[in-house]
């Protein structure tokens, strides 16, 4: 095994052993607090361009299976872990974690002091990092703000036929688990590219629209806000993660970047209507700014227990709901899977598919 280095743009250097693809990589260094679900995490398109640090100390213990990839091709920049398990034990395991990285063309580094790295990120804020065989001294010239949504979104329309209502899934980097959750609710699903216009979606004659999760800064999609607003004004709509932020922005709200984001399967969220706390799966670096929400337009439905940030919105006139967390989980608890069930129930109860714009 070959020694390698993760060099942060702030100057800190972390040593380890290189695993996965044999290449240098550069990206935003983030951390995930989940105890399980590493396969789903490394295949989640929302991590496009990021170096994921796993807080859990041992990665690879139950191997890789044939079912839990969230996308066909991982989009993350790389992986940083503590201890690597090369002897997985699970009856569904077909591969080792390190072999999965190698086959996917994803570089990684193991044997890193991930506790110190996470403490560094928490004190510095999210920083860029360079993973390579040698310490990096110059970060100039590296692309830092590509349009990740365009890179991970589908390029063609995909159809999944079923017996229930027809949902258009706008793909900003959707997870397979969202599609599966809709299919489990007997929905027919049409997956469309992120930049599909209102007119094209209207021509598909959906009963409802779901705006998916995805990577990057939501303001990178500013030119499509008018289309997003029109879509939500014509169809029952659910926004998840990036989709939540885009709907808020389309109605005039603002977003801001968190110091180090919310990533993991153990984030407590309070449902304001009941006072109940749900444990949720999250993966985002941006939040909707509290003061930018028009209380005459949106009701805040969920808040993060830890930092009080907005976790959900409900439109006061249109059948629009948004959540910052992932109700389908995978990986994570299933506390909030009822949100997808409620969305389908709302579609079925809508009666007329279209209603007048107010």
Residues belonging to the active site: 241, 326, 328
Contact yes or no for 108/86 (Cβ under 8 A): no
List strands edge to edge, sheet with 298-304.
Answer: 158-160, 188-193, 166-171, 208-211, 237-240, 320-323, 310-315, 298-304, 255-271, 277-288
3-state secondary structure of 130: strand
Return the C-alpha torsion angle 60, 61, 66, 67, nearest 10.
-100
Contact yes or no for 46/148 (Cβ under 8 A): no
Contact yes or no for 310/290 (Cβ under 8 A): yes
283 vs 252: CA distance, rounded Å: 23
> Tokens representing 106?
């994803």
Return the C-alpha torsion angle 76, 77, 80, 85, nearest 10.
60
Q: Which residues pair with 280 in a beta bridge?
A: 267
96 vs 84: CA distance, rounded Å: 10
For the stretch 291-296, contacts whose Cβ atoms lie closer than 8 Å and that sit 24 or more positions apart, written own/partner, are 292/248, 292/252, 292/253, 292/254, 293/248, 293/253, 294/251, 294/252, 294/253
258 vs 76: CA distance, rounded Å: 19
Q: How many beta carbons lie within 10 A of that of residue 73, not counting itself?
A: 11
> Tokens representing 27?
């990206």
């Amino acid at each position: 095994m070959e020694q390698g280095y993760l060099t942060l743009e702030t100057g800190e250097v972390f040593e380890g052993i290189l695993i996965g693809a044999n290449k240098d990589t550069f990206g935003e260094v983030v951390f995930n607090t989940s105890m399980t679900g590493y396969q789903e995490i490394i295949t989640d398109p929302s991590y496009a361009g990021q170096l994921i640090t796993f807080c859990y100390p041992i990665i690879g213990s139950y191997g890789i299976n044939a079912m839990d990839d969230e996308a066909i091709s991982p989009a993350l920049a790389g992986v940083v872990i503590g201890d690597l398990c090369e002897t997985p034990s699970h009856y569904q395991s077909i591969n080792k974690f390190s072999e999965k990285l190698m086959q996917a063309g994803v570089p990684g580094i193991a044997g890193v002091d991930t506790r110190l790295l996470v403490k560094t990120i928490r004190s510095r804020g999210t920083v860029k990092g360079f993973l390579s065989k040698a310490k990096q001294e110059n970060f100039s010239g590296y692309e830092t703000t590509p349009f990740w949504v365009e890179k991970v979104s589908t390029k063609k329309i995909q159809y999944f036929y079923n017996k229930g209502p027809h949902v258009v899934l706008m793909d900003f980097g959707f997870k397979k688990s969202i599609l599966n959750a809709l299919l489990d609710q007997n929905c027919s699903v049409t997956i469309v590219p992120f930049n599909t216009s209102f007119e094209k979606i209207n021509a598909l004659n959906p009963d409802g629209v779901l705006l998916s999760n995805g990577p990057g800064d939501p303001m990178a999609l500013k030119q499509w806000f008018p289309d997003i607003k029109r879509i939500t004004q014509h169809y029952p709509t659910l926004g998840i993660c990036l989709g939540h932020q885009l709907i808020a922005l389309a109605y005039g709200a603002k977003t801001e970047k968190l110091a180090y984001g919310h990533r993991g399967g153990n984030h407590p969220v309070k449902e304001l209507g009941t006072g109940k706390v749900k444990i949720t799966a999250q993966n985002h670096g941006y939040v909707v700014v509290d003061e930018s929400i028009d209380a005459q337009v949106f009701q805040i439905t969920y808040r993060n227990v830890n930092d009080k940030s907005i976790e959900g919105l409900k439109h006061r006139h249109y059948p629009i709901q948004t959540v910052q967390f992932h109700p389908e989980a995978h990986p994570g608890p299933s506390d909030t899977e009822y949100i997808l069930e409620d969305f389908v129930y709302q579609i079925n109860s809508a009666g007329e598919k279209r209603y007048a714009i107010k």
